[in-house]
């Protein structure tokens, strides 16, 4: 049985581990911290139907649907509070499932708990330092604590600052700052619902004069929100550590008071303990080398997409399942890793390009931002009339795991596209 060493216990890590275990490999997840969900940034995530479909191949889609909430409709408004249009977020699976929103920390914990329940081995406080080929054709990983672990293949699911990517190709590009700080939070004050006319289950987006704002009202009444603040420079580690939630809240409220609508009041009502402080948002320039003979990268390490695409989680899940099928079906590891890249690269680069375009609108400032606000209603109404059809290439994508390899009780989903 091939042993696979997976670097990172975020989202790509545990999903890859579950996929590899189902494919007959022995996965080991090495996490740099002592808590897979303890240091992550961001408030919540969306999992599109293509990601849920891929999770269904692992019988893991219910993890998302049980802890998340359906959010199948987008509603757009202007800074003056004028409603522009509503449109669906992606398609709908045969059983009626739509895109789901889920708290980031809940998803990290649930995925890793499920991987561990299925027998995946975890090693904590293992920060990768280096990895080298072994004489037997495998790979030996060295960690900051001085330990080493050998395996047949090493998989970097270690995010946008991937050490695995650097080891595979020291000339690999660094992450690209999108000119946006992200913030977020959760509000439990239900009195805001009636006062602000909030609609549960609808993902509302506001093109503000000075910031972009989005929010979602969960079925239990909790308000989930995020904001994008245009900035010309990256937030330093010192600024990130020394700026308090109260200071971030004051900065953001000052920007949002320029708009009509609920944004400023939602942020002002967010307590410190549920406020997600500012963080830089990135995507990845094209990574020309994804693998060598016994190492490969998946998820954000290979192709981080802008959050505006709503596809970051789904791309990581698709990677995990596709990599598992290649390692299962192709005996030679190097050939399997090459096949994985060949089957994934064109799709993910198209998704990255789509996300970069939508994020560019949010990063605009001055006259550029005014122009975006003026033309956006026209294009959104046009897009709403077209429905989801122009983006079917993104949401209708399916991976053929093969019914002969499904675990007992697993659903056989539509693979006709």
Task: Decide: residue 117, CB within 10 A, 0-12 exposed, 13-18 middle, 19+ buried.
Answer: exposed
Give every CB contact of residue 263 below 8 A, 6+ residues apart in sequence: 206, 208, 211, 213, 215, 225, 227, 256
Determine the pLDDT at residue 363. 46
Determine the pLDDT at residue 304. 85
Determine the pLDDT at residue 131. 98
The closest of 401, 404, 398, 402 to 417, measured between CA atoms, is 398
**Alpha carbon distance 391, 384 (integer Å):** 12
**Alpha carbon distance 175, 177 (integer Å):** 7
Give every CB contact of residue 225 below 8 A, 6+ residues apart in sequence: 43, 184, 185, 186, 187, 213, 214, 215, 216, 263, 266, 267, 270
Count other C-beta atoms under 10 Å from residue 365's C-beta: 13
Strands 26-30 and 121-123 come out as parallel
Determine the pLDDT at residue 82. 84
CA distances to 48, 148, 150 from 315, in Å: 10, 30, 28
**Alpha carbon distance 118, 305 (integer Å):** 29
Determine the pLDDT at residue 200. 80
Length of the chain: 417
Give every CB contact of residue 15 below 8 A, 6+ residues apart in sequence: 55, 58, 60, 111, 115, 316, 317, 320, 321
pLDDT per residue of the chain (417 residues) written in tens, 0 to 9 = 899 999 999 999 999 999 999 999 999 999 998 876 554 466 899 999 999 999 999 999 999 999 999 988 888 888 888 888 887 888 889 888 999 999 998 999 999 999 999 999 999 999 999 999 999 999 999 999 999 999 999 999 999 999 999 999 999 999 888 888 999 999 988 788 777 878 787 889 898 889 999 999 988 889 999 999 988 899 998 998 899 999 999 999 999 998 988 999 999 999 999 999 999 988 888 999 999 999 999 999 999 887 777 899 999 999 999 999 999 999 999 999 999 999 999 999 999 888 776 655 544 554 444 434 444 443 444 554 555 567 788 899 999 998 555 444 444 333 333
**Alpha carbon distance 372, 368 (integer Å):** 6
**Alpha carbon distance 68, 79 (integer Å):** 29
Question: 417 with 398: CB under 8 angstroms?
Answer: yes
**What's the order of all strands across the beta sheet hosting 153-156?**
121-123, 26-30, 3-7, 153-156, 295-297
Task: Identify the structural domains of the chain with CATH numbers, from first to last.
Answer: 3-175+284-402 (3.50.50.60)
Determine the pLDDT at residue 404. 56
Q: Can you tell me which residue has the tokens 């090693």?
A: 123
Q: Which residues pair with 78 in a beta bridge?
A: 207
Classify each residue of 176-200 as buried b or exposed e, where b means 16 or more C-beta atoms within 10 Å of its C-beta.
ebbbbbbbbbbbeeeebeeebebee
């Amino acid at each position: 049985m091939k042993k696979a060493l997976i670097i990172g216990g975020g989202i790509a890590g545990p999903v890859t581990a579950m996929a590899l275990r189902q494919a007959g490999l022995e996965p080991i997840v090495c996490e740099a911290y002592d808590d897979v969900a303890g240091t992550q940034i961001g408030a919540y995530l969306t999992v599109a139907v293509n990601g849920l479909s891929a999770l269904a191949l692992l019988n893991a889609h219910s993890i998302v649907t049980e802890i998340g909430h359906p959010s199948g409709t987008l509603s757009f408004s202007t800074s003056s509070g004028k409603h522009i249009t509503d449109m669906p977020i992606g398609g709908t699976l045969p059983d009626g499932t739509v895109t789901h929103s889920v708290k980031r920390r809940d998803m990290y914990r649930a995925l890793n708990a499920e991987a561990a329940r299925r027998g995946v081995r975890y090693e904590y406080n293992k920060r990768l330092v280096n990895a080298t080929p072994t004489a037997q054709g495998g790979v030996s990983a060295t960690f900051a604590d001085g330990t080493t672990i050998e395996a047949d293949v090493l998989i970097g699911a270690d995010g946008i600052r991937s050490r695995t990517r650097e080891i595979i190709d020291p000339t690999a590009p660094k992450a690209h700052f999108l000119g946006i700080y992200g913030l977020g939070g959760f509000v439990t004050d239900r009195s805001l619902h009636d006062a602000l006319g909030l609609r549960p289950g609808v993902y509302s987006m506001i093109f503000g004069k000075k910031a972009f704002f989005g929010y979602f009202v969960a079925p239990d009444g909790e308000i989930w929100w995020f904001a994008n603040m245009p900035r010309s420079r990256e937030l330093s580690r010192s600024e990130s550590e020394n700026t308090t939630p109260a200071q971030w809240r004051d900065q953001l409220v000052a920007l949002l008071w320029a708009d009509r609508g609920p944004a400023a009041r939602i942020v002002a009502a967010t307590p410190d303990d549920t406020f997600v402080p500012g963080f830089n948002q990135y995507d990845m320039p094209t990574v020309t080398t994804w693998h060598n003979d016994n190492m490969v990268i998946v998820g954000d390490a290979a192709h981080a997409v802008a959050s505006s695409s709503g596809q970051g989680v789904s791309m990581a899940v698709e990677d995990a399942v596709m990599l598992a099928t290649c390692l299962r079906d192709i005996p030679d590891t190097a050939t399997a890793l090459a096949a994985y890249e060949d089957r994934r690269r064109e799709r993910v680069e198209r998704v990255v390009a789509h996300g970069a375009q939508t994020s560019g609108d949010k990063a605009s400032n001055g006259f550029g931002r005014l122009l975006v606000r003026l033309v956006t209603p026209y294009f959104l109404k046009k897009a709403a009339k077209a429905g989801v059809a122009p983006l079917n290439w993104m949401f209708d994508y399916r991976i053929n795991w093969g019914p002969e390899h499904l675990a007992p009780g697993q659903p056989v989903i539509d693979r006709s596209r």
